[in-house]
């Protein structure tokens, strides 16, 4: 078995909790529609408006994604306490430390 077989044999690492995340995204759609923004934008605006968050790191693979992300600035002031409460009721975010994934650590080291 070569390294490609090992990577393909472990898709469950990427899919862990996917159903729950999709369910949360579906429940956020009415809030997003009300604010006139995208799921990406409400996620970033929620993080930026959170007093416990000091830094929000953004990434984009394409210029269109970067443009959408930067337009979030226009929505930040729409994340009122009422909106935060609605979002938190949909999916309560509980900060936690990531589990050490030795497989990923070794894989990233040698690729």
pLDDT tens digit string along 30-65? Answer: 999 999 999 999 999 988 888 888 899 888 889 999
Q: Confirm if 41 and 48 have CB atoms less than 8 A apart.
A: no
**Total H helices, total E strands in the chain:** 7, 0
Higher pLDDT, 76 or 12: 76
The C-alpha atoms of residue 75 and residue 69 are separated, in whole angstroms, by 11
Q: Does residue 14 register a pLDDT over 80?
A: no
The C-alpha atoms of residue 63 and residue 83 are separated, in whole angstroms, by 29
> In terms of C-beta density within 10 A (0-12 exposed, 13-18 middle, 19 or more buried), how is residue 27 classed?
middle
pLDDT at residue number 8: 47
Higher pLDDT, 12 or 84: 84
């Amino acid at each position: 078995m070569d390294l490609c077989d090992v990577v393909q044999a472990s898709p469950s690492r990427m899919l862990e909790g996917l159903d729950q995340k999709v369910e949360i995204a579906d429940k956020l759609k009415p809030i997003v529609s009300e604010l006139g923004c995208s799921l990406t934008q409400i996620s970033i605006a929620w993080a930026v408006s959170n007093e416990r968050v000091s830094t929000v790191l953004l990434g984009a693979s394409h210029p269109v994604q970067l443009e959408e992300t930067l337009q979030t600035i226009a929505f930040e002031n729409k994340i009122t306490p009422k909106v935060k409460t609605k979002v938190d009721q949909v999916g309560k975010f509980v900060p936690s430390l990531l589990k050490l994934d030795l497989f990923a650590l070794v894989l990233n080291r040698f690729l």
